[in-house]
Amino acid sequence: MKTFSSIDEADAWFAPMDWEEFWSEAELFGLTEDLPSQAGARRDVERGNANEATVLDGLKYMARHILKTRQDLHYRIEDLAPQGR
């Protein structure tokens, strides 16, 4: 299983994924047991309850939260100190 060093890294990994790639990776990570079913999500899109991009964004958010919990991830804190001091 892929491990991440921060939430930011997980976000960057999920960002370019389309619908099919997301579900494939979610299955590999064992995330599908904690996500709404793919069939249910697809049904919401087909019924016009939400568009695919909105549903996919929500699924990515939920998957990120699951990984955050499982891998104890935190946001990366950038060094805000001025350079050269």
Reported pTM: 0.84
d(CA 52, CA 67): 22
Q: Which residues contact residue 59 at a Cβ distance below 8 angstroms, ignoring those fewer than 6 apart?
A: 22, 26, 35, 36, 41
pLDDT at 81 exceeding the cut of 70 = no
Q: Terminus-to-terminus CA distance in the chain, angstroms?
A: 40
Residue type, 36: P
Joined together, the tokens standing for residue 4 give 């991440």
State the pLDDT at residue 78: 72
pLDDT at 84 exceeding the cut of 70 = no
Burial letters 7-20, b for 16+ CB under 10 A, else e = beebbeebeebebe
Q: Which residues contact residue 74 at a Cβ distance below 8 angstroms, ignoring those fewer than 6 apart?
A: 6, 7
Residue 5 confidence class, pLDDT cut points 50, 70, 90: very high
Task: Give the pLDDT confidence of 17-76 residue by residue, as tens digits.
Answer: 999 999 999 999 899 999 999 999 999 999 999 999 999 999 999 999 999 999 999 998
